[in-house]
Copies of this chain bind each other. A is one copy, B any other.
Amino acid sequence: MRNRQVVLRQRPVDRLDVSHFAVVDGAIGRPGEGEVLVRTVLLSIDPANRAWMQGRTYRDRLEDGQVMEGFVLGEVIDANGTDIAAGTIVECQGKWQEFAVLPRALVRPIEVLGPLEQHLGLLGINGVTAYFGLYRVGCVAAGETVVVSAAAGATGHLVGQLAKLRGARVVGIAGSEAKNAVLVEKLGFDAAVDHHRDDLLASLRAACPNGVDVYFDNVGGPVLDTALRVMNPHGRIVCCGVVSQYDTSSPAPGPRGVPGLLITKRLRMEGFLAPDFLDEWPEATRKLADLADSGEIVGLVTMTDGLESAPEALVGLLAGKNVGKAVVRVAPDPVRRSPEP
């Protein structure tokens, strides 16, 4: 049985395109002592995938010829005598391939609380990222104004909905009128502005008549530069991502308002990674699942089919084509037993 894999043929110098990848046939391998065999069901497509090619993140750089890495949801098909049951749905930092032999210690069984693809977004990393970033780092309060960039993205569209639930006024920044229509009409954002507009500053000022108390930044670059200018005194800037700077070899300079505007407006700017709150993930995820069950929050997903579509899905994500979480389906959902009555 073959194991199709997507290899990073050559690291991009500037913009990533599908020619940087190749699909190859690899071997499946046999699990050794303490290892399990996992079939990939879904791949999570994330801006971070591109950042790893630049070599300046929290992990080692991806190199030419490596099988592409990413977050994976899969099914254990050979438990190999470990403490895990065959058929268990697991998540792991994995690779873009159909099968993987992995140390048992590196796969984490998940408690299935909704459709599997939601476990890559709302019930996965993006949900806890939005939750802890907004509530714990941004400390948003009712009546405040929250602006979120990449607002139609996997994390952004959840941030806006969580801020609404907290009683804030919410303004999204996204890259097209179509996305902005989704934010306002489908997700309840109070307003949305297009960052491709000539005058983002004027648009933001018009959309935020009381200024901005919390800016949840997923993009960095010129949008962050502009957002600093509309912040209210004692505002908070939650630094979550720098997606504007991932797909380039010539990063923008830092925002001009740092540190000057931080001082005159007494702003707090704080970076975080969701794993900083790992102990509290189960509780947060259950709350998010309850909100999804009651229809108070919606996890949007852009799904594409087939392992070989993963490069295009990532290139599309970087070009801003997705709405919500980008997911690639590699295999059909496993047939799961119904829960006990």
Contacts and interface: CB of A to CB of B under 8 A. Distances in A.
A6 to B, nearest CB: 25
Given A220-B260, A254-B253, A255-B254, A269 B268 contact: yes
A266 B273 contact: yes
Number of copies: 2
Interface size range of chain A in the complex: 35 or more
Nearest to A246: B260
Interface stretch (A73-81, A234-242, A281-289, A314-322): A234-242
A267 B271 CA distance: 5
A295 interface: no
A220 B271 CA distance: 19
Contact of A258 (B240, B258, B260, B265): B258
A116 interface: no
B259 A224 contact: yes
Given A242-B260, A256-B251, A268 B266 contact: no
Given A240-B263, A254-B258, A264-B271, 8 more contacts: A217-B259, A224-B259, A237-B259, A239-B262, A241-B263, A242-B260, A259-B269, A268-B271
Lowest 8 CB-CB distances: which A-B pairs, in order? A254-B254, A262-B271, A253-B253, A263-B271, A239-B259, A254-B255, A268-B270, A239-B262
